[in-house]
Structure 1
Amino acid sequence: MFANYLIGLREGLEAALIVGILIAYLVKIDRRDLLGRVWAGVAIAIAVALGVGAILTWGPYGLSFQAQEILGGGLSIVAVGFVTWMVFWMGRTAKDLATNLRSGIDRAAQGAGWGIVLLAFLSVGREGVETALFVWSTVGPSSDTSSGAAWGAFTGVLLGILTAVVLELLIYRGLLRINLSKFFTWTGYALIVVAAGVLAYGVGDLQEAGALPSWGAPLYDISGVIPPTGVLGSLLGGLFGFTPIPTPLQVVAWVLYLVTCLILFTRLVRSKKSPATASASAPATVPETA
C-alpha cells in the first residue's frame, strides 16, 4: 500500500503542480476565459487514465495463464521504464518546469485557446497513465479485483493523490512552502527501490511463462525465515516487490537496475547542487505569480 501511496503522491503532485501553474499563469495574463479549457483537459486526462486502468484490470481475464504472465511481466517492465524516465525527467527539469509551461501556455492560448485543452490533457494524462500502469503492475493481472491486495493498492494510490491535491491547494494559497527539489529527490530514490522490485517481479512472471530462461533452481530460499504470506513478507512484498525465493535472473536484474539507477540519479542530484541551481524548489512558489 505504501508503494502505491508513494506513486500516487509523486505523480499526483506533479500533475497538481502543472495544473496550478496553468491556472496561475492564465490568471496573471488575464485569460480567465480559458480556465474552463484547463479543466476540460484535466477531465479528459482523468477519463483516459481510468479507462486504461479498467482495461488493465478486466481485460486479461479471458487470457490463458501463460498469456497473463507474459502480459503482466511485460507491462511491469514497461511500468519500470515509465517510472524511471519520470524520476530522471523531474530531476533534470524541476527548476525549469514553470518556465517551460508558461512558454507552452503562450502558444496554446492563441485564438480561442483550444490548445490549452491539449496542453492540460497531455500534461496530466501522462501522469495518470503512468500511475495506472505502475499500480496495476504491483498487483498483477491474475489478482482478484475484490482481493485485499487490489483494494490496498487502490486505497494507497487514492490517498496519495488526495494528499497531493491538498498540498497543491496549500501551496497555491500561499499557506505552505516546501522544498520541492528535496521532495522529488527523496521520493526519486524511494521509487527507484520500488521499481527495482517491480522489475524483479516482472522478470519472474516472464520466467513462469517460459519467455525467459529459468536458470535452474532458485538462487536462495529464505521463506522459512520470512514467509511470503506472513506479516513481514507481505509488507516487504508490498513495499519493494520482495520475494524470499528469487531466481538468479531476478536477483541479477534487481541488482543491476538498482545499482545503475542509484549511481546515475546520485550524479544527477549532485550536479544540481550548485549556486546557480539552488532555487530548484521554484515550482512550489509558482502560484505567487497569480
Structure 2
Amino acid sequence: MENFLPGLIMGFREGLEAFLIVVIILQYLKKSSNTSFRKNAFSGALLGIFASLGIGGILFLISKSVNKMDEVSKLWESSASIIALILITSFIYWMIKHGRNMVTEVQNQVKSNLSAIGIFSITFLMVAREGAEIAIFVFAGKYTLLSILTGISAALLFSILIYFSLIKVNLKILFNITLVYLILQAGFLLGYGIHEGLSALSSLNIIESTNPIFTKAFDVSETIFYHKEGIIGLPLYVLFGWYSKPEIIQFVVQYVYTFFMFFVWHKELKK
C-alpha cells in the first residue's frame, strides 16, 4: 500500500498527460481535415512508448547491477535520487509554465509542423518525454511496476473516454491536483536521497555516526505517526512523503524545496 498508491497516481498523472497529447493532436487533425496524418501520430506515439520502455530498461539494468554491491548500494540510491530529482524538477517547471495552456501549446505546434514527419516527431517527442519521466520516477522512487502499469492503464481508459466524448472533465482541475502530488513526491524524493546518502556515508565509515549531521529533527516513530505502520503516519507517508524520524538537514531541505516549488507555481499563476 505504501508504495502502490504513489505509483498508481504517478502512472496515472504522467500517462494521462501523454495520452491526452495524442488525443489533442488527433482531434486537431480531424477538425482541420488533415486525418491523413493520423497514422503518423499513432506511429510517433507507439515509438515514443517503445523509447520510454528502452529508457526504463536501461535504468533498471544499471540499478540492478549496482545494487549487487551492498557497500555502495545506498550511496548509489542517494545519487540516483538526486540526479532524478534534477530531471524531474525541470519537468515540473515546464508543467508550471505551460500546463495551463497545454491544449493551445500542442495545437500551435501541430499547426506549425503540419506534415507527416512533423506530426510524427511532435507525437514521438512529447510521448517519449512523459514516458521518460515515468521511468525516472520508477527508477528513483521505488514504486512497484504493478502500481505504475495500473495507473497508466487507467489513464489510457480515461483518455479514450474523453476522445469519444463519453465523459467530460475539467482537465485544469485534474492536472492541478496531480501536479500538487507530483511536487510533494519530488520533495520526498529529495529527502529520501539525503537520508540514504547520510546512511551510506555512515556505513562506509566516511562520516562517524556521532557527527552532528545525523541529529534528528524529531522522532515520533514509536507513535501513531510512524511512517511505516502508524495509523496517521502511514497515510501521511503515502500522500505527502512524511517521514517520522528525519535528520534535520533532510527535513529542512525537503520542505524548503517543496514550498519553493509551490511558491514558483503561485507566482506563475498570478501572471
- In which range does the TM-score fall when normalised by the shorter chain? 0.7 to 0.9
Q: Which residue of 1 aligns with 2:97?
A: 92
Q: Give the TM-score taking structure 2 as reference length.
A: 0.83
Alpha-carbon distance between aligned partners in 2 of 1:96 and 1:245, rounded to the nearest angstrom: 40
Answering whether residue 209 of structure 2 is matched by residue 209 of structure 1, we say no
The answer to whether the Cα contact below 8 Å between 1:42 and 1:120 also exists between their aligned partners in 2 is yes
Answering whether residue 212 of structure 2 is matched by residue 243 of structure 1, we say no
Q: Which residue of 2 aligns with 1:254?
A: 254
Q: Which residue of 1 aligns with 2:50?
A: 47
Worse-matched range after superposition: 224-233 or 252-261: 224-233
Match for 1:14 among 12, 17, 35? 17
Alpha-carbon distance between aligned partners in 2 of 1:61 and 1:89, rounded to the nearest angstrom: 31
The answer to whether the Cα contact below 8 Å between 1:83 and 1:130 also exists between their aligned partners in 2 is yes
The alpha-carbon deviation at position 227 of structure 1 amounts to 4.5
Q: Which residue of 2 aligns with 1:167?
A: 158
Q: How does 1:127-142 map to 2 (within 5 A)?
A: 127-139=130-142
Structure 1 residues 236 and 54: alpha-carbon distance in aligned structure 2, compared to 1, 3 A threshold? farther
Q: Which residue of 1 aligns with 2:63?
A: 60
Alpha-carbon distance between aligned partners in 1 of 2:238 and 2:73, rounded to the nearest angstrom: 20
Worse-matched range after superposition: 233-242 or 27-36: 233-242
Answering whether residue 24 of structure 2 is matched by residue 34 of structure 1, we say no
The alpha-carbon deviation at position 256 of structure 1 amounts to 0.8
**RMSD over aligned Cα atoms:** 2.6
Alpha-carbon distance between aligned partners in 1 of 2:235 and 2:54, rounded to the nearest angstrom: 29
Q: Which residue of 2 aligns with 1:265?
A: 265
Q: Give the TM-score taking structure 1 as reference length.
A: 0.78
Structure 1 residues 240 and 198: alpha-carbon distance in aligned structure 2, compared to 1, 3 A threshold? farther
Structure 1 residues 12 and 75: alpha-carbon distance in aligned structure 2, compared to 1, 3 A threshold? same
Answering whether residue 198 of structure 2 is matched by residue 199 of structure 1, we say no
Alpha-carbon distance between aligned partners in 2 of 1:205 and 1:119, rounded to the nearest angstrom: 38
Match for 1:180 among 168, 171, 177? 171
Alpha-carbon distance between aligned partners in 2 of 1:240 and 1:138, rounded to the nearest angstrom: 14
Structure 1 residues 129 and 228: alpha-carbon distance in aligned structure 2, compared to 1, 3 A threshold? same
The answer to whether the Cα contact below 8 Å between 2:227 and 2:243 also exists between their aligned partners in 1 is yes
- Three-state SS of the structure 2 residue aligned to 1:209 is helix
The alpha-carbon deviation at position 129 of structure 1 amounts to 0.6
The answer to whether the Cα contact below 8 Å between 1:75 and 1:133 also exists between their aligned partners in 2 is no
Residue type at the aligned position of 1:196: G
Q: Unaligned stretches of 5+ in structure 1? A: 140-149, 273-290
The answer to whether the Cα contact below 8 Å between 2:198 and 2:214 also exists between their aligned partners in 1 is no
Alpha-carbon distance between aligned partners in 2 of 1:234 and 1:96, rounded to the nearest angstrom: 36
Alpha-carbon distance between aligned partners in 2 of 1:228 and 1:90, rounded to the nearest angstrom: 30
Alpha-carbon distance between aligned partners in 1 of 2:113 and 2:121, rounded to the nearest angstrom: 8
Residue type at the aligned position of 2:257: Y
Q: Unaligned stretches of 5+ in structure 2? A: none
Paired residues, number: 257
Structure 1 residues 178 and 91: alpha-carbon distance in aligned structure 2, compared to 1, 3 A threshold? farther
